[in-house]
Amino acid sequence: MTPDQIIVTVVGLAAAVGVAWFFWFKRNEGVQASTVSDGYQEVMILVKGGYTPDTIRVAAGRPVRLLFRREETAACSERVLIPDFARSAELPAGEVVPVEFMPGEPGEHEFTCQMGMLRGRILVEAA
Amino acid sequence: MTSATNTRAIDPAAPGRGRTTPGGFPAATASGTSPARDRQAEYHTLMRKWWFGAAVGAPTMVLSYPWLIPGLRDIFPRDSDQLWWLWVAMGIASLAVIVYSGNQFFTGAWEALRHRSANMHTLIAIGTGTAWVYSTVALFFPQLFPSAEMTDVYYDVTVVVTALVVLGMAMEVKARGRTSEAIEKLIGLQPKTARVVRDGLEAEIPVDEVVVGDVVVVRPGSKIPVDGVVLEGASAVDESMITGESMPVAKGPDDEVIGATMNTTGSLRFRATKVGADTALATIVRMVGDAQASKVPIQRIVDVVSGYFTPAVVILSILGFVIWYDFGPAPAFTYATIVAVTTLIIACPCALGMATPMSLTTGVGLAASHGILIRSGDALQAAKKIDMIVLDKTGTITVGKPAVTDIVPADGFEVDAILALAAAAERDSEHPLAAAIVEGAAERGLTPLAPTSFEAVPGHGIRAWLGERRVLVGKRAFLEAAGVKAETLEADAARLADEGKTPVFVALDDRAAGVIAIADPVKADSQAAIAALRKLGLQVVMMTGDNRRTAEAIARRVGVDRVLAEVLPQDKAHEVRKLQLEGRTVAMVGDGINDAPALAQADVGFAIGTGTDVAIEASDVTLISGSLRGVVSAIAISRATMRNVYQNLFGAFVYNGLGLPVALGVLYPFIGLLLSPILAALAMSFSSVTVISNANRLKRFRLQEVPA
């Protein structure tokens, strides 16, 4: 192997490992939903190329209201689904759309776009 | 993941939160920001981007290889200054294409990157970006490359790939709009105005202003604006748009009418019972929307795959680059770059992601247009798997209301006379069979006399006096106890009982006058529907509270495989459970109210004949019409939809499974085949369009295809 081949191989393999680490080993603490006056745990989520924040922490046993605000026209994100809670909503660009549900047991649930390309997590924690 | 919590108590689109209009439809469909309009705008934007990309792309393709074209070969010879300047111009033009036509790839990739995720945009942005950077470096710093043959430019890849992928996206937006046509058609059914009577005056008002209790006037040929109950008038109403039943339905006082159906020739006045978001149509629209947005269980597997897919493609392309650089032919760097770019571009996470939702949306919409409401993707997948179907007899196979079916007169008596006598005797009785006799007489235009006196003998019959004459109606033993001989009628009575009917003897004075048979008549199309269900490969079971003899008589007539007779209403769910323990996947068809526990127990519950009460919670599938044919259609549509889902998934997996290795150059050592990035872009756009087109193909599914 020539030196340049060794460099390309080492850099390439490092890049491959880096990509795997970057995309697959992300863990973030997430954003804690704040309780508003009507007793709902509420979080505003920006929909633009992904969900911001994409990890929401809520307490079990109290109703949750996610407020989605979509700021893009790409068709991919036009619907949001929370399959574990049988919830879905159409997100017209520029509007705030509330989606409400009642988390029962502590656990982890996903919310996604219809194609499953954009993803977020709801972490239900013991109250 | 923990199990889901049932949260039906909270409505996600609670009125008053800005999501519903007074008409009860999602605000998004009524206001200016409708998804359809968003989609239309998106389509036009993408098409403009495509045309710009194509306009730059055509000359770029030609001018990238001028030495291959006779006339141009002399104007732009290799290594000439003219060619260098030409390529600089192409570099600027292709940058313009990236900025105008391809900016969404770069912004999309950046947004995704910020979320530490990757999608189609990531792949296209890296692919086209790499080609552009490589070309530009080769153009301005050729000394960095060891050989001159490595300094060709690939601006055509940047431009043409961008243009083709944008075109694919435009076609996708268009086709995606078609999959949701069904629900838009439903929304479009809603009439805008209603004629109501208030303070004695008839006035036309917007349909949103109709309140429960309003008296609504419907003229011939106009739409029924909201749900209600007829007060006066008679007409036939075309309910096909809601129930899927093609024959108009006769309506008279006390009959239910459904908003958005079409009145034909008569006039009706009805009292509004459900308005706004409560109408059957608004509920249907909501249910269809929710079902279309739910997930088919198989998609959970796909979601796991697609979660890993895009980064995996990036890793593959890096490894492809390394392998081609280390082991590939010269110029290795150029080949390695082309392979890496082609790999990024050919991968189509979209085809994978869209495979299930597109078919689901189309299938659920198709079902809705036939009056079949499928609650979710789970119901759809389950409906495909069933191998046994349990039909509740009363109200499902039969009309659910006893009626006079046969009258056998004794010698010297007329059919109508017997019925008139029996009706006179039974006029004031409260026995369910009495109602059938009285109604039977009324249907034949008979006016029974009023009895002077009558006496009911519970469990046996009724004795009435019409002036001086005595009428007996009841069992044979009841007649014989009163000294009336009826053995001449016994053979007929036995035959009727064998047919599953209840024979009632009638006597006038001391003579037997005849036998009236009463039965819950089998619906006209039950037999054909049951035959169709069996042709779909299902074992058909009839469940009833009737005694075994009656049950078997009906079973023989309609042709079911198995009869569960003498089942108490509270035991229905238990019987379904027993069948499931036999290892069967069981569907249950019932009325949704009395049969709710059995419907919930079954793998798939079909609520039938719900009329305006469409939101039956216990059922997985709701049939607005009362015909068993709807069950056949529902199963056929579910199967066709799931078949479509599997075709799409198979296609998407095979496409990516074959495309990626070929792009990586697996075939190169054997047959020297290496894909160009442009071909890869063509294949990629084509694959996602194919998935959507296949889903749209479902719309051509005709119920005639259902075996009859």
Residue-by-residue pLDDT tens, chain A, 127 positions: 889 999 999 999 999 999 999 988 877 778 888 888 888 999 999 998 788 888 999 999 899 999 999 988 777 788 888 888 878 888 888 889 999 999 988 999 989 888 777 888 899 998 7
Asked if the C-beta of B414 comes within 8 angstroms of chain A's C-beta atoms, the answer is no
SS3 label, residue B618:
coil
Residues of B in Cβ contact (< 8 Å) with A3: none
Residues of A in Cβ contact (< 8 Å) with B166: none
For the stretch B202-223, pLDDT in tens is 999 999 999 999 999 999 989 9
The residue annotated as part of the active site, out of B156, B238, B392, B603, is B392
Quick one: pLDDT band at residue B615, thresholds 50, 70, 90? low
Supply B169's token pair: 């996206």
Please tell me the predicted confidence (pLDDT) of residue B6. 38
Nearest CA in chain A to B118: A23
Chain length of chain A? 127
SS3 label, residue B342:
helix
- Assess contact for A122 and A53: CB atoms under 8 A: no
Calculate helix-pair angle for B81-100, B155-179, nearest 10 degrees.
Answer: 20
What is the amino acid identity at position B509? D
Note which residues in 28-47 of chain A have CB less than 8 A from chain B: none
Whether A95 and B28 lie within 8 Å, measured CB to CB: yes
Q: Does B9 score more than 70 pLDDT?
A: no
Distance from CA of A114 to the nearest CA of B (A): 7
* Known catalytic residue at B392: yes
In angstroms, the CA B685 to CA B351 distance is: 9
Whether A86 and B325 lie within 8 Å, measured CB to CB: no
Give the CA radius of gyration of chain A.
19
Please tell me the predicted confidence (pLDDT) of residue B45. 93
Asked if the C-beta of B357 comes within 8 angstroms of chain A's C-beta atoms, the answer is yes
Query: What are A110's strand-pairing partners?
Result: A121
Region B46-61: mean pLDDT is: 93
In angstroms, the CA B488 to CA B90 distance is: 105
Whether B306 and A116 lie within 8 Å, measured CB to CB: yes
Residues of B in Cβ contact (< 8 Å) with A9: 322, 325-326
Q: Does B61 score more than 60 pLDDT?
A: yes
Asked if the C-beta of B381 comes within 8 angstroms of chain A's C-beta atoms, the answer is no
Nearest CA in chain B to A54: B115
Nearest CA in chain B to A9: B322
> Interface pTM (ipTM) of the complex?
0.85
What does the mean pLDDT of chain B come to? 85
SS3 label, residue A102:
coil
For the stretch B562-601, pLDDT in tens is 999 888 888 899 999 999 999 999 999 988 777 888 998 9
Supply B457's token pair: 């003998």
Whether B12 and A98 lie within 8 Å, measured CB to CB: yes
Quick one: pLDDT band at residue B667, thresholds 50, 70, 90? very high
Contacts of A29 (CB under 8 A, 6+ apart): A55, A57
Whether A86 and B290 lie within 8 Å, measured CB to CB: yes
SS (H, E, C) A59-97: ECCCCEEEEEEECCCCHHHCEEEEHHHCEEEECCCCCEE
* Residue corresponding to tokens 């229905």: B572
β-pair type (A34-35, A41-47): antiparallel
Helix, strand, coil content of chain A in percent (nearest 5): 20, 40, 35
Asked if the C-beta of A81 comes within 8 angstroms of chain B's C-beta atoms, the answer is yes
Asked if the C-beta of B295 comes within 8 angstroms of chain A's C-beta atoms, the answer is yes
Residue B452, Ramachandran bin (φ over 0: left; ψ between -120 and 50: alpha; else beta) = alpha
Asked if the C-beta of A112 comes within 8 angstroms of chain B's C-beta atoms, the answer is yes
For the stretch B372-420, pLDDT in tens is 999 888 888 898 889 999 999 888 888 878 889 899 998 888 888 899 9
Q: Phi and psi (nearest 5°) for A112? A: -140, 170
Region B93-114: mean pLDDT is: 92
Whether A52 and B353 lie within 8 Å, measured CB to CB: no
For the stretch B409-455, pLDDT in tens is 988 888 888 999 899 888 877 777 888 898 888 888 888 888 888 88
Whether A100 and B11 lie within 8 Å, measured CB to CB: yes
- Assess contact for A114 and A79: CB atoms under 8 A: yes
